[in-house]
Structure 1
Amino acid sequence: MKAVQIYGYSKKLEAHINDVPIPRINKHQVLIKTNVAGVDPHLLLAITGKVRIFDQYDFPLTLGNELSGVIESVGEAVTDFKKGDRVYALMPLDTMGAFAEYVVADANIVVKMPKHLTFEEGAAIPLSALTVVQAFDVLNVKPGAKLFIPGGTGGFGQIAIPFARSKKLFVAVSGSESSRHLALSIGADQFIDYQKQNYVEVLKDFDYVIDTRGVSEFRKELRILKPGGKLLSLNAVPNARFAIQHGGFSTMQRLLFGAIGMPFDIAAHLQRKSYDFLYVQPNGKQLKNITQWIDEAGIKPTIDSTFAFTQVNEAIAKIAKGTAQGKILMTIQEGETIT
């Protein structure tokens, strides 16, 4: 079968399509024939090695975090799936593997897709949906509170905005003017054109900020929070609380996280606010629960662009630009037949 791989970390955003054996499943796993895979910013961290603070990869590494496809076979202990089921999943970020014609996954991270979604729409769901659920859990969101998502018009925002509205939150987002209609159409209460407006001068007394931009926006985001407000970053730096809550890290990693996160913790504490970091993890139960909401609400993500399997490097270049309005996807070509 074909798989998209890298041979090591590199500043050059380039991957290769290789022939690799079709993986075998154990009794608790399923084999998925991949239809479509999502292309997300985490790939940039994986390729360049910036993710090494969390994960140490073995090479060659098959890239890809999320996918939609059809169950090809199931392990003898698997009872929730059968051959032919339409499914999607977020792969573990420390192993990845979604950019392949066939993917092995633990059955407990795989979920049946809502019937109203195409494979393209389904592949746009798992990473964003699980990030939303896990972010809201960390923030412990309350109805009536105010949430700001800078740059909230991409794949994450398209799930986060309607989900936040379903939890009765006031939602403000920022983005380019071309994203205004999309943001408002999916439920945003307020839109900030970052090219014309400084959100620090427009927004105040917010309860939560979910940061998608990273370190450069930290102090500005902190300023718009009211005392007691919470800033959760998806793209800045981990801290000691993150290491404690998630566990599984070495002593060296825990010390490192505490050290690099300390300036952020102190800055937040001095303003009577809090700082947290999230590194999303696969979770079948959480994905199944939000899938039910997606199904009932009829949520359909907006697709920015779809690339062929052979265009993987063009897809990676597109995500690196950071200008997508919606999800970037890659179709997976037909592979060899399993006999």
Structure 2
Amino acid sequence: MKAIICTKYGTPEVLKMVEVDKPVPKNNEVLIKIHATTVNGADARIRGAVFPSIFNFPVKLAMGFKGPRKQILGVELSGVIEAIGAKVTQYKIGDEIMASTGAHFGAHAEYICLAETAEMTHKPSNMSFEEAAAVPHCALAALYFLKKGKIQPGQNVLIHGAAGGIGTFAVQIAKSMGAYVTGVCSTSGIEMVKSIGADKVIDYTRENISKYGDTYDVIFDTVGKSSIPECLEVLNENGQYLSAVHLELSRMLEGIKASLTSNKKVIGGVASYTVENLNYLKNLIEAGKLKTVIDKQYSFHQMVEAHTYVDTGHKKGHVIIRVDAN
């Protein structure tokens, strides 16, 4: 089978398409023919070894110093089950699924084997393979942190990076929880963020979040670029600042100080993915409350071009790879 491998850290040109052995499912695994996958910020950061300085050594210790030990990147996919192991009971051949591979990676290939207990569920009936491929990573991250925020109907929620991969899902999930949602993005994303349900949009290139005098119960930073002190100023007492990305040391210290000296909480860390949350998202999708925003689509042979585009930092929503396309 064909796969895209990353043997060393660097620019998108380090990625190469090669032939590798097609995997064979173990007793508890399913073999998936991948129809679509994505290139997101996590893939680009791993390929380019772009890690916060405080985490650089431990991340490379875990992943590899000269290049990723797991050379086939990709953390999410959609596809069709082609074979099942002898002990698999939850799935059958022909099932259409979407799945997260998490730290195992491996989605940038034509086939993959996953345990039936992996973060996997049936593809929503009202989504294409391309749309479904983007759900198991960014939407799960958005849901994980928004649940940490314990959002209640009527609360004011501010989402930084509302036009991004996590942000577009976060806007919609927060709305489904009954929140009044303000999205923060650049000028080019304003209309799109409005179209997915944001009640208000702030253009960070022209306006400061404190301009309108609004305060928020939850502030969710999906891109790690907001000023924590500035956010805390407009965060209500007992409010929560959520961060979906690893913080640099200075920002971590700001967060710790805020949590120790006020009733405002700063919550970060690594999102935990579960099948329960993936099914929660599937139900939202089938109820018409959650959709995937696709920016660009590329064929499997255009992986370098896809990474190059993601590296610009200007993507809106998701970049999809059609693995079954020529």
Give the TM-score of the pair, scaled to structure 1.
Answer: 0.85
1:21-40 alignment, distance < 5 Å: 21-40=21-40
1:317 is the counterpart of 2:326 = no
Residues 185-194 or 269-278, more deviating: 269-278
Residues 282-291 or 66-75, more deviating: 282-291
User: In 1, are the aligned partners of 2:144 and 2:273 still within 8 Å (CA)?
Assistant: no
User: In 2, are the aligned partners of 1:222 and 1:268 still within 8 Å (CA)?
Assistant: no
User: In 1, are the aligned partners of 2:154 and 2:178 still within 8 Å (CA)?
Assistant: yes
Q: Which amino acid aligns with 2:15?
A: A
Aligned CA RMSD, in angstroms, stands at 2.3
Identity of counterpart residues, as a percentage? 27
CA distance, structure 1, for counterparts of residue 104 and residue 25 of structure 2: 15
Taking a change above 3 Å as real, the CA distance of residues 306 and 215 of structure 1, as seen in their structure-2 partners, is closer
1:182 to 172, 192, 197: 192
Residues 206-215 or 98-107, more deviating: 206-215
1:305 is the counterpart of 2:315 = no
CA distance, structure 2, for counterparts of residue 11 and residue 318 of structure 1: 12
Offset at 1:111?
0.6
Residues 7-16 or 149-158, more deviating: 7-16
Taking a change above 3 Å as real, the CA distance of residues 72 and 328 of structure 1, as seen in their structure-2 partners, is same
User: In 1, are the aligned partners of 2:167 and 2:222 still within 8 Å (CA)?
Assistant: no
Query: Structure 2 unaligned runs (5+)?
Result: none
Residue 80 of structure 1 aligns with which residue? 90
1:90 is the counterpart of 2:100 = yes
1:328 is the counterpart of 2:316 = no
CA distance, structure 1, for counterparts of residue 13 and residue 136 of structure 2: 24
Residues 95-104 or 282-291, more deviating: 282-291
User: In 1, are the aligned partners of 2:96 and 2:122 still within 8 Å (CA)?
Assistant: yes
Query: Structure 1 unaligned runs (5+)?
Result: 239-256
1:106 is the counterpart of 2:115 = yes
Offset at 1:64?
0.4
1:163-178 alignment, distance < 5 Å: 163-178=173-188
CA distance, structure 2, for counterparts of residue 133 and residue 190 of structure 1: 20
User: In 2, are the aligned partners of 1:204 and 1:225 still within 8 Å (CA)?
Assistant: no
Offset at 1:263?
4.0
1:212-223 alignment, distance < 5 Å: 212-214=222-224, 217-223=227-233
Runs of 4 or more, structure 1, over 4 Å off, are: none
Offset at 1:177?
2.3
2:285 to 294, 297, 310: 294
CA distance, structure 2, for counterparts of residue 264 and residue 13 of structure 1: 37
* Residue correspondences, number: 315
Residues 169-178 or 275-284, more deviating: 275-284
1:120-199 alignment, distance < 5 Å: 120-199=130-209
Once the two structures are superposed, what CA deviation does each residue of 1:13-49 show, in whole Å capped at 9, x if it has no partner? 6312121111222222111100110111001221233
Offset at 1:121?
0.8
1:206 to 202, 216, 220: 216
Taking a change above 3 Å as real, the CA distance of residues 13 and 267 of structure 1, as seen in their structure-2 partners, is farther
1:267 is the counterpart of 2:258 = yes
User: In 2, are the aligned partners of 1:232 and 1:278 still within 8 Å (CA)?
Assistant: no
CA distance, structure 1, for counterparts of residue 237 and residue 135 of structure 2: 34
1:64 to 52, 74, 89: 74
Once the two structures are superposed, what CA deviation does each residue of 1:92-140 show, in whole Å capped at 9, x if it has no partner? 2x22111000011121221101111111111121112211221122212
Taking a change above 3 Å as real, the CA distance of residues 309 and 11 of structure 1, as seen in their structure-2 partners, is closer
